[in-house]
Amino acid sequence: MGNDANQVSGRALCRGDVTDKVCRICLENASREIIKECKSQEAIIWYELCQVHYSYRILSGMDAYAGKYPLWNNQEKNVSDPLSFYEVLNDLMGNLIIKAAYGPSKLMFGTDQVKFSRSDTIYGLVQCTRDQTVDSCSKCLNSALGDLKACCYGRGGGTIFSRSCNMRYGSTRFYDTPSVKGEWKTWMIVLVICVPTFAAAVLIGSCVLYYRGRTGTQNDEEKSQHALSHNLATPEFNLLSTQELPFMELATIRAATNDFSESNKLGHGGFGTVYKGVLPNGKEIAVKRLSKKSRQGIEEFKNEIILIAKLQHRNLVRLLGCATDGQEKLLIYEFMPNKSLDIFIFDADKRQQLNWEICHNIIDGIARGLLYLHEDSRLKIIHRDLKPNNVLLNHDMVAKISDFGMARIFGENQNAANTRRIVGT
């Protein structure tokens, strides 16, 4: 629509199992929300049942793949036998990719289920936008499957959204079947109508439940989310959603860390102090409190948010959320109970715990994390400051690389890089 500089193109997609009525309601709400919240030249909004994408350029099914991870991936329970589970899941998704890309249906959509054990079933769903060739659909979904393994290996459910294809699996049925059309369709309509009431931008089903649970300060919290979202409206941040990176109340973090008490202090870095915290639900977290005196604090904060929220892998430290209030800028990470590798290397007693199997797994984890950063992630990240105290260890001694948020960013032209930011020590 439009001409030359005023041209805009758009693309909408409803999930293949919804009715025309549900599709219309979802697209109407998504269109209103994206216009309200996104002021950039290109934006995309995902709901559970539909997505809307607009751009100043001509949209194409051949656009580069860039998958996104909704927050609910972090909330999925772990499975008891990850390797066997993934083998079954990989076969299921492989068959669905063939069905969606090369099957007789023009919807480029597929669902199916498979028994994992006597009592457990895996449900899967894949879909492509219909402006693609069958080969580009297959390529997009296979890229999504790779991302699904990176973000959700060992978990009982996971979702990947992208511009041109989506993929989801779970241990309970989340898509429509002919046997339950009445009740299921009603539920979907309610979900679609309710989302804009509670969501800030680019939010999907699970966030409705999250915001329903909030009390008192919900309006203030939503205002702070809007402000931060708009302040971070950089080209790199265009496709980053508030659903992927939840904003927490400062009061909650203060309570979790005992008001940043010295006894909760885990360490001090180049641009802030790290504290241990415990949320009301008992979840342990690590809170990085940026130094108020740091001249680069805001830029560092933006850089870590933009990068870490996009990069998710089982061998990278996971960013759970952030909080801001005036000069207070906080990043909330998953807590690593075994701290860092240097503690085990340089402590004679702890070093005895590093048998060959543990050492091999740590080395393998570091290598896998670096491979993801260097080759498999949507960005090309060179860490440039990898050392033992930047390798953290979880309860099972799984290695997780930290402090890659200040690393050099390589774009499509890998001979050119942004050299204005701190990248090492």
Q: Which positions make up the binding site for ATP?
A: 288
- Dihedrals phi, psi of 413, to nearest 5 degrees: -90, 100
* d(C-alpha 425, C-alpha 421), whole Å: 12
CB 332 within 8 Å of CB 321: yes
Tokens of 189: 């309509």
145: exposed, middle or buried (Cβ count in 10 Å: 0-12, 13-18, 19+)? buried
* d(C-alpha 12, C-alpha 52), whole Å: 5
Determine which one of 147, 176, 385, 403 is catalytic: 385
* d(C-alpha 335, C-alpha 325), whole Å: 23
Helix or strand run (H / E) with residue 409: strand 408-410
364 belongs to the catalytic site: no
End-to-end Cα distance, the chain: 50
- Dihedrals phi, psi of 86, to nearest 5 degrees: -65, -35
- Phi-psi label, residue 4: left if phi above 0, alpha if psi -120 to 50, beta otherwise: left
Cα radius of gyration rounded to whole Å, the chain: 22
Is 295 strand, coil or helix? Answer: coil
Q: In sequence order, which residues have a C-beta less than 8 Å from that of residue 180 and are 6 or more positions away? A: none
| Amino acid, single-letter form, for residue 135 | D
* d(C-alpha 425, C-alpha 423), whole Å: 7
DSSP classification of residue 218: H
Annotated binding site: 288
Active-site annotation, residues: 385
